[in-house]
Structure 1
Amino acid sequence: MPGDYFFGQYEGKLLTVLGSCVAVTLWHPRLNLSALTHFLLPGGKRFDPEDTHYGQAVFAQLQLDMARFGTHPSEYQKGLFGGGTQLQPKQGSNLNVASKNVRFACEQFAELGWQINQQALGGSYRRISLDARTGKITCTDLQDPNQLRIRA
């Protein structure tokens, strides 16, 4: 769900549905660690490092969790998804949340020196499934708003 954050070992599939939000995925093949995040906005006026509704907190928490498990970011397969919109924003508008989210996430990856192994940014809404056992990510474009429900 929006604002949810998972990092750890899991024996199944992690799922989320994205509109203008952005998800970061991580998978560590040797330790079988997975991460799936879902942030709504790049940051808030008052930064709360535990509020993963915001991208600032997500990237801070991912780094803390990697360190907590004694791992390095280069050991992970990384994905970046979301920032979709079903509406065309007004040209020059600074109110396009999807674009702001995508720009923020890409800037964070660049600043941290992280390579994106798989991505689907912009465009339509999506359902993301991360198989925590294998690291396989399935990204499905959603055209019908009725598909925006999470199904196992």
Structure 2
Amino acid sequence: MSQYLQHFLYPSSLFVSKEPFLVKTILGSCVAICLWDSRLKIGGINHYMLPHWNGNDLASPKYGNIAIDKLIDKLLFHGSRIEDLQAKVFGGGELMQTGSSKTQIGERNIRVAQIMLEERKIPIVASSTGGKRGRKIIFFTDTGEVRHKLLDKKNL
């Protein structure tokens, strides 16, 4: 792992690089999508907090529908083609007990990833989503490999 440049991905952000990077992030109800181009051997990742931008405030990658499109656009800018992309989806845990299904942010974050990737014909080749625990993920942008570890609440 030492030959890699490293980057920590904060919520509401995304990262794409042609250079080999090891990108780390921590997820609770947030979702991260790792996109990898099998032809160019480059990758990108986003980390969004809420499923849909409602038209108010800024259209930021805090929202899944914005973060997914921005990540795809950045990879296309670097020469990727949609047909060469594959996705891995992580996160969307329900870490807080709530009675209302309207507040199931994690589940809604997962669903927006599934719908948007399917609409864009980008296959999801691996995922670890849902449940009651958080996740730490490490994404290798040059190989598409993702290592993940389930976390207890005390580790978040």
1:62 aligned partner? 71
Q: Which has the higher strand share?
A: 2
Structure 2 counterpart SS, 1:94: helix
Q: Provide the TM-score with structure 2 as the length reference.
A: 0.83
Structure 2 counterpart SS, 1:117: strand
Per-residue CA shift, 1:21-70, capped at 9, x if unaligned?
00010122442311111000112222745x11111111221232232123
1:86 aligned partner? 95
Given that residues 32 and 46 in structure 2 are in contact (C-alpha distance below 8 angstroms), is that contact kept between their aligned partners in structure 1?
yes
The answer to whether the aligner puts 1:99 opposite 2:113 as a matched pair is no
1:120 aligned partner? 128
Give the alignment's Cα RMSD to 1 decimal: 1.8
1:130 deviates by 0.6
Unaligned residue ranges in structure 2 (runs of 5+): 1-9
**2 CA distance for matches of 1:55 and 1:144?**
23
**2 CA distance for matches of 1:11 and 1:71?**
16
The count of residues paired between Structure 1 and Structure 2 equals: 145
Q: Provide the TM-score with structure 1 as the length reference.
A: 0.85
Structure 2 counterpart SS, 1:7: strand
Given that residues 10 and 34 in structure 1 are in contact (C-alpha distance below 8 angstroms), is that contact kept between their aligned partners in structure 2?
no
**2 CA distance for matches of 1:105 and 1:9?**
23
Identical-residue share of aligned pairs (%): 28
Unaligned residue ranges in structure 1 (runs of 5+): none
Per-residue CA shift, 1:62-100, capped at 9, x if unaligned?
23223212321221231011101233442x521111111
Deviating 4+ runs (over 4 angstroms): none
1:111 aligned partner? 119
Change (3 A) 1:33 1:54: same
